[in-house]
Structure 1
Amino acid sequence: MPVLRVSTIMLLALGLSACVSEPSTPSLPQQQRQEAYNAAAGDQVQHFHLVLHDIYSWERLSDTQVVVYTQPTRAYLLDVWPCSSLNYTNSIGLTSSANQVAVGADKVIVSHSHLACKIEEIRPVDLAQFKLDKASQRHIDNLQRDSDASKPAA
């Protein structure tokens, strides 16, 4: 009986380690979004202002990057210590001091696990540039219509 129990535990541990070690590969649109945000991000800043700890919205780009919107027109690209639990959360929080989120001192809190991911870098995102980059990524095939095809059949 103990041999069966040990075998079961070993198989369970092997199965869990396979799930944990499987590399996550972001889909192409997510990679394009990450590239667009990185291209639109400015120089590193040491902190940003967060009114009443309120995040307007956020987007996970990878397990090391998060975009946080503090207002509809203001966003920051945060590089964090690798934080795999970002892949599985629906909400995040930010630590701050005196309404300032600072590099090195503050963290992204993943809600369901209460894990804290240290903020390594903060860069403001030029949202006008980001929208321009997104628009340039769209591809539309523009084909001229045949003049005979546009006439109704007799």
Structure 2
Amino acid sequence: MSFKRVMFASTAAAVLAACSSVPYAQREAQRTAAYEAAAGAPVSSFHFFTPLWSWEPLGTDEVAIYTRPREAWLLDVPGCNQLPFASAIGLTSNMNQVSVNFDKVLTGHGQFPCTITRIRPIDVARLKALQQEQRQIQAQPREPARD
């Protein structure tokens, strides 16, 4: 890829990011609040069969793990500073079981593993409904132009 194309793509991405009407911190807070609202009561463990379906970091203290398209878990990992910057993660498990205070989230080679201190199941259907509500806009008609 030529230098001009790279510069154009990065400039376009920066302009599009700047066009968002909702500040980044507010979007992050809304996203985390939706996961918190959809999370159930804490459990001591869950079954985990590799590969991991998907994951989403929620700051440095929480991560949402999707083990299947409709099965997700909210893991508390306090002080996991590399989590927001990780391009991939892993989970430790014992006999396909991820347990509180025993298993860890791995964020990369040379990084300290992050201990899982709490596990909560996520109601994925409820999460999607909450996220859809957050996407609703309140449109108002424009006032007629005055000449």
How does 1:8-23 map onto structure 2 within 5 Å? none
- Structure 2 distance, partners of 1:113, 1:63, is 17
- CA shift, 1:143, in A, is 4.5
TM-score, normalization: structure 1? Answer: 0.72
Q: Quick check: 1:95–1:101 contact (8 Å CA) kept in 2?
A: yes
The equivalent of 1:97 in structure 2 is 94
TM-score, normalization: structure 2? Answer: 0.75
Structure-2 change in CA distance of 1:27 and 1:118 (3 Å): same
Q: One-letter code of the match for 1:41?
A: A
Identical positions, percent: 43
Which protein is bigger by CA-based radius of gyration? Answer: 1
Structure-2 change in CA distance of 1:85 and 1:145 (3 Å): closer
Structure-2 change in CA distance of 1:31 and 1:145 (3 Å): closer
- The CA RMSD over aligned residues, in Å, is 1.9
SS in 2 for 1:129: helix
Q: Quick check: 2:58–2:84 contact (8 Å CA) kept in 1?
A: no
Q: What whole-Å deviation, never above 9, does each CA across 1:90-111 have from its counterpart, x for those lacking one?
A: 1110000000000011000112
SS in 2 for 1:84: coil
Residue 58 of structure 2 is aligned to residue 61 of structure 1: yes
Q: Quick check: 2:89–2:106 contact (8 Å CA) kept in 1?
A: yes
Q: One-letter code of the match for 2:45?
A: H
Q: Which structure 2 residue ranges, 5 or more long, are not aligned?
A: 1-23
The equivalent of 1:28 in structure 2 is 26
Q: One-letter code of the match for 2:138?
A: D
Q: 1:138 aligns with which of 132, 135, 138?
A: 135
- Structure 2 distance, partners of 1:35, 1:138, is 14
Q: One-letter code of the match for 2:112?
A: L
- Structure 2 distance, partners of 1:117, 1:78, is 10
- Structure 1 distance, partners of 2:142, 2:118, is 51
Q: What whole-Å deviation, never above 9, does each CA across 1:35-71 have from its counterpart, x for those lacking one?
A: 00000000001001111x3211100001010000001
The equivalent of 2:107 in structure 1 is 110
How does 1:33-44 map onto structure 2 within 5 Å? 33-44=31-42
Q: What whole-Å deviation, never above 9, does each CA across 1:66-121 have from its counterpart, x for those lacking one?
A: 00000111100000131111122111100000000000110001124332000000
- Structure 2 distance, partners of 1:145, 1:27, is 29
